[in-house]
């Protein structure tokens, strides 16, 4: 895994992205030469070629990311790659048309653009087909050893097996620890061959993940772990392993000292200024672009039941301060007639027909752009909850109030990584993603979340 601006980025995705950018620029060079039959140097210079091809490559990458081609379960069949390429290139083409219309001086021209897109699609399909076969090769699998034999080890192993987009592991086994129940183990219990270093070398393990729940009584074996680290065997604790592989801060592996002494949690003046500038710019750009959609929502809500268009609801924001969030009304006027806050559930009868469509494509959230401009919210951040539920979760879930150290957002890491929550268990899962965002938030991660949000909106996921 690579770490860019505190966020863990898969080496598989990074290498694939570099290869595909190379293919796209090569397709641009070939496309221009085919169109002008080798006379390209007399038609346009290299500087003018570089700018439009950067726009093309970035648009295609964003389009592919918007349909999930750089997300979880990235390793896919050639058939699925082909099916995803069509909508991704459609999104990319729309973006390019808007950019080239606004800046015609950097346009490639329709003939060249058609050739470049065709060659890029063929190249990307070929690269992915070959690359995924290489990724599945045993040469690219890392042996990994676990210290511990508890339920925590089971969770680590499930994560390493399911999260194939980041890395592939050969799970050597787990070294049992005295006093831990080994009945939950999903892998073989390794017989220690002397010290931890000797055991790691015997099984050719490149990494030891410490998943010991009870660290008292010498179970952690600090001196032996230090020896492993000094001799080139990577040592990772369970909390760091989950953060790296699942992009979560898992509550069941978390110690308060890990949060206190660990990296991240950037609340500097520069970060605050950059985030506020990002919020204002994005909101100011999106309001005019989405105004036709918002107008259609206003008309549809009014025609359906002649009720109020907007509703204001109290939510908890940064530092626990409350504010009124704006949303298009998606439920009946008497949705909470009993007076008690209620979770929205799947197929909730309180949701109107128009509201169901708006919720599916997140149209009901658009008025929150005004909350962002007012400073109540950020564009990206943990979703704001109602005070009733916040109080309940803060009493029952450890570290819940940590999510209130940053401004809430219209979209967030939990929203693009997890389904719509309607229970305490869902709140725990989403909190683990929110903690990751609070710890590792950056402009880079905000941009990735915005691109992932396109995938959620286009396919109506997470509702």
Question: pTM here?
Answer: 0.88
CB 442 within 8 A of CB 269: no
Helices (H) and strands (E) in the chain, counts: 17, 10
CA distance 350 to 363: 17
Measured CA to CA, the distance from residue 190 to residue 389 in angstroms comes to: 45
Per-residue pLDDT of the chain (463 residues), as tens digits, is 778 888 888 877 888 999 999 999 999 888 888 876 655 444 455 566 788 899 999 999 999 998 888 875 566 788 888 999 999 999 999 999 999 988 888 888 888 899 999 999 999 999 999 988 877 665 567 889 999 887 888 888 888 877 655 567 888 888 888 777 766 555 677 888 889 999 999 999 999 999 887 776 666 789 999 999 999 999 999 999 999 988 999 998 888 888 888 778 888 889 899 999 999 999 999 999 999 999 999 999 999 989 899 999 999 999 999 999 999 999 998 877 666 777 776 677 889 999 999 988 889 999 999 999 999 999 999 999 999 999 999 999 999 999 999 999 999 999 998 877 667 888 999 999 999 999 999 999 999 999 989 888 877 665 5
Q: Map out the domains of the chain as residue ranges.
A: 2-135, 139-261, 269-334+347-459
Q: Within 10 A of 105 (CB to CB), how many other CB atoms are there?
A: 8
Report how far residue 43's alpha carbon sits from residue 41's, in angstroms, rounded to the nearest whole number. 6
Q: Which residue is listed with tokens 């204002």?
A: 280
- What is the third-level CATH fold of 139-261? Rossmann fold (3.40.50)
* CB 182 within 8 Å of CB 193: no
The confidence score (pLDDT) of residue 344 equals 72
Question: What pLDDT, on a 0 to 100 scale, did the predictor assign at position 186?
Answer: 59
- The pLDDT assigned to 40 comes to 47
């Amino acid at each position: 895994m690579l770490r860019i601006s505190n966020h863990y980025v898969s080496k598989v995705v990074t290498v694939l992205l570099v290869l595909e950018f190379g293919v796209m620029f090569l397709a641009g060079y070939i496309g221009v030469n085919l169109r002008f039959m080798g006379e390209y140097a007399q038609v346009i210079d290299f500087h003018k070629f570089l700018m439009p091809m950067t726009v093309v490559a970035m648009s295609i990458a964003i389009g592919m990311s918007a349909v999930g081609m750089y997300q979880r379960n990235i390793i896919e069949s050639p058939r699925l790659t082909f099916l995803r390429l069509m909508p991704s290139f459609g999104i990319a083409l729309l973006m390019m048309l808007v950019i080239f219309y606004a800046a015609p001086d950097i346009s490639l021209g329709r003939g060249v653009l058609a050739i470049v897109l065709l060659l890029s699609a063929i190249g990307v399909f070929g690269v992915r087909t070959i690359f995924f076969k290489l990724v599945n090769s045993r040469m690219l699998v890392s042996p990994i050893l676990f210290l511990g034999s508890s339920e925590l080890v089971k969770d680590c192993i499930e994560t390493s097996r399911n999260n194939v987009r980041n890395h592939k592991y050969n799970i050597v086994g787990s070294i049992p620890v005295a006093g831990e129940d080994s009945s939950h183990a999903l892998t073989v219990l390794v017989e220690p061959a002397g010290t931890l270093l000797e055991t790691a070398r015997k099984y050719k393990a490149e990494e030891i993940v410490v998943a010991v729940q009870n660290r008292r009584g010498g179970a952690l074996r600090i001196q032996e772990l230090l020896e492993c680290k000094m001799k080139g065997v990577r040592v990772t604790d369970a909390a760091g392993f989950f953060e790296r592989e699942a992009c979560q801060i898992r509550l069941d592996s978390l110690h308060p000292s890990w949060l206190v002494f660990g990296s991240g949690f950037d609340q500097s003046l520069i970060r605050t200024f950059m985030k506020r500038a990002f919020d204002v710019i994005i909101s100011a750009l999106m309001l005019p672009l989405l105004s036709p959609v918002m107008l259609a929502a206003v008309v549809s809500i009014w025609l359906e039941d002649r009720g109020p268009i907007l509703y204001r609801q109290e939510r908890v924001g940064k530092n626990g301060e409350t504010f009124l969030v704006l949303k298009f009304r998606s439920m009946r006027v008497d949705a909470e007639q009993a007076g008690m806050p209620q979770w929205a559930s799947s197929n909730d009868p309180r949701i109107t027909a128009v509201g169901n469509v708006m919720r599916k494509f997140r149209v009901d959230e658009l008025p929150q752009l005004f909350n962002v401009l007012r400073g109540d919210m950020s564009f990206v951040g943990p979703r704001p909850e109602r005070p009733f539920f916040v109080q309940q979760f803060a009493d029952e879930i450890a570290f819940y109030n940590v999510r209130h150290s940053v401004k809430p957002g219209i979209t967030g890491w939990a929203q693009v990584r997890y389904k719509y929550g309607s229970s305490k268990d869902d709140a725990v899962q989403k909190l683990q993603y929110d903690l990751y965002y609070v710890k590792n938030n950056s402009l880079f991660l905000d941009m990735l979340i915005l691109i992932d949000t396109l995938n959620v909106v286009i396919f109506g996921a997470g509702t």
